[in-house]
Structure 1
Amino acid sequence: MNKKQEPKVGLVSDLVRQYLRTTDFRIERERSGVSTYVYRINANDEVFYLRILPEQDMSFAPEVYVHQLLRKKGVQVPEVLHFEPVHEELGLSVMLVREIPGAHAGRVTSQESYERVMLDAGSQIALVHGIPVEGFGWIRRGREEDKSVLRGENRSADEQLLEFLEDDVQFLSEKLINKEEASIIRRIMERGLPLMSRYEPRLVHGDFDDSHIFQDNGTYTGIIDFGEIQGSSPLYDLGHFKLHDGQRYKGFPALVEGYQSVVPLTAWDQLEIDLWAVWIGVRRLGIVARRSPDADYVHQLLNRVREVFGVVSRQL
């Protein structure tokens, strides 16, 4: 992909003046964004986020479409105020959204408040999973794509599930886990793949944990950051959340309770959630451990993967 350098602040400020029709604002670069240039804007006692895709051949159109669909379903996601498939001067796709109020769920002050937020988040992510997708894997974002159809990069679930699995397990067996653990992972994945391929592809958030669930004084306010949307089993997001649960508070049981108020889950579904937690953990470790990242995060993630595959191995 042809990736352009980060736009200069002066040019970004010109965009903000044009979109918000005001010169009275403050703008700062958000460094938390990795795949997107993100700017936080304070104007008229409100907060907005301007997002710019670095790749010249990519568009925010599918993400904007997802926001529109979800808001119609009653899912509390950021309102898109402005979108340009290709900004003439930048040559890049641009999206301006209104802030979801509050802070991420991990900043609540008690376990009780956290569980209340997770109940609402569970019912909302179940609505997200009601949106069908054509194909599996990352949602295609090319400018030539049909803007009213969500398409994954892979034709089948097996393509998504097997693309990196053996390479990741082999790498981990050389760097982080022993041969017996690698053998267990291979066995449960082989036996679990049919279970993980049961469902038709649905829209998933792709990075669903409590850092993307927002609350204000213990009241759920919405879900943010749909930059990693995919087509997958609807249980993918629950597996992702379970893998990362407990970094601040324990919220998975409350999340599932909220989810089941919209979509009942069977015992097979519960097992599939664990399988996704293992698969996502192996894929994430295969990525971050190769990049020499924060050793604490790798250690934490590895412990969670071991914990979950230990449970799954006794069921398969």
Structure 2
Amino acid sequence: MTSRIIPAMMGDVKKVEVVVAHHDCATVRVGDVFLKIDADQRRTDVEVQAMAMAPIPTPEVLWRKPPVLALAALSGTALGRLGEPSTASPAAWADAGAAARMLHDAPLPPWPGRSPDELESQLDDACGWLVTSGVLPTTEVMRNRRIAEAALRPWTPVFVHGDLQAAHVFLDKDEITGVIDWTEAGRGDALFDLATLTLGHQEHLNDVLTGYGSDIDLDLDVIRAWWSLRSLRAIRWLVEHRFDPAPEVAVLNSQP
């Protein structure tokens, strides 16, 4: 079946675009089709199941033949990108907040998410590596480590995307057309998704909360803690996979 579908969908395509590629997985775009190649099929299992369960728009699964998952491209443009100013309107950010709320109100997925104890262990490992590697000054690492501690508290689990960065949210005329990259989905803290969405775009937090709803038990210290925790954990992975961690470093430096 796959050998018949690919030519029909890609016969007029003149180039292949490498979207991202590293040791774990790669994504390439061929026309209006994204091909995700992942050596760990557990991540793909989570992605496919999470998209099927999510009450918000997601890419259409065209076919799957391990290790490849074929997804239809979404219309529109990304809400924003870390390290770059967002040109999206306040209404677009509010719509992203409303989509997050719909997801968080949905039934929990059957698989577990990370616990505070697990995250604390990962945070300790990340900070230890940052200090010994010299990527960041020790004082900056420890300062953000203290900020991050506020996130390591019990929470009521909800259905989280797990990597709800602005680059994964697509809109057309301020309306959500879909959310991509669900491999980290599971049970987690609602504030983590909101913090991830506004990472590097702190000026849009109020817009997101307008769409999300005012009845959330919001603690700005926890939002800031997730900004620090996510950035501290991400930098080692980015460096080891030869990506530029400058946007995450900027987030850490900007923390009060």
- Asked if these proteins are the same fold (TM beyond 0.5), I'd say yes
**Are residue 157 (structure 1) and residue 116 (structure 2) matched?**
yes
Unaligned runs of 5+ in 1: 1-13, 135-148, 311-316
**1:58-89 CA distance string (max 9 Å, x none):** 4633322211222xx2x121122334xxx4xx
Residue identity in the other structure for 1:275: A
C-alpha contact (below 8 Å) 2:46/2:184 kept by paired residues: no
**1:223-257 CA distance string (max 9 Å, x none):** 222233343212112122232227xxx43321221
Aligned counterparts of 1:104 and 1:66: Cα–Cα separation in 2: 20
SS at match of 1:275: helix
- The Cα of 1:20 is off from its aligned counterpart by 7.7
Match of 2:72 in 1: 98
**Are residue 68 (structure 1) and residue 52 (structure 2) matched?**
yes
C-alpha contact (below 8 Å) 1:48/1:98 kept by paired residues: yes
Aligned counterparts of 1:230 and 1:183: Cα–Cα separation in 2: 29
C-alpha contact (below 8 Å) 1:58/1:93 kept by paired residues: no
Q: Please report the RMSD computed on the Cα atoms of aligned residues, expressed in angstroms.
A: 3.2
Aligned counterparts of 1:24 and 1:186: Cα–Cα separation in 2: 51
Alignment of 1:1-316 (within 5 A): 15=2, 17-18=4-5, 24-26=11-13, 28-34=15-21, 35-42=24-31, 47-55=32-40, 58=42, 60-70=44-54, 73=55, 75-83=56-64, 87=65, 92-106=66-80, 113-131=88-106, 133=108, 149-152=110-113, 154=114, 156-159=115-118, 161-174=119-132, 175-190=134-149, 192-194=151-153, 197-200=154-157, 202-245=158-201, 250-260=203-213, 264-268=215-219, 270-290=220-240, 293-294=243-244, 297-298=245-246, 300-308=247-255, 310=256
Unaligned runs of 5+ in 2: none
- TM score, norm. by length of structure 1: 0.66
SS at match of 1:266: coil
The structure having more radius of gyration, on CA atoms, is 1
Which fold has the larger relative contact order, with Cα–Cα distance below 8 Å and residues 6 or more apart in sequence? Answer: 2
C-alpha contact (below 8 Å) 2:20/2:26 kept by paired residues: yes
Residue identity in the other structure for 2:227: A
Q: Percent identity?
A: 23
Match of 1:8 in 2: none
- TM score, norm. by length of structure 2: 0.79
Aligned residues: 250
C-alpha contact (below 8 Å) 2:94/2:212 kept by paired residues: yes
C-alpha contact (below 8 Å) 2:34/2:72 kept by paired residues: yes
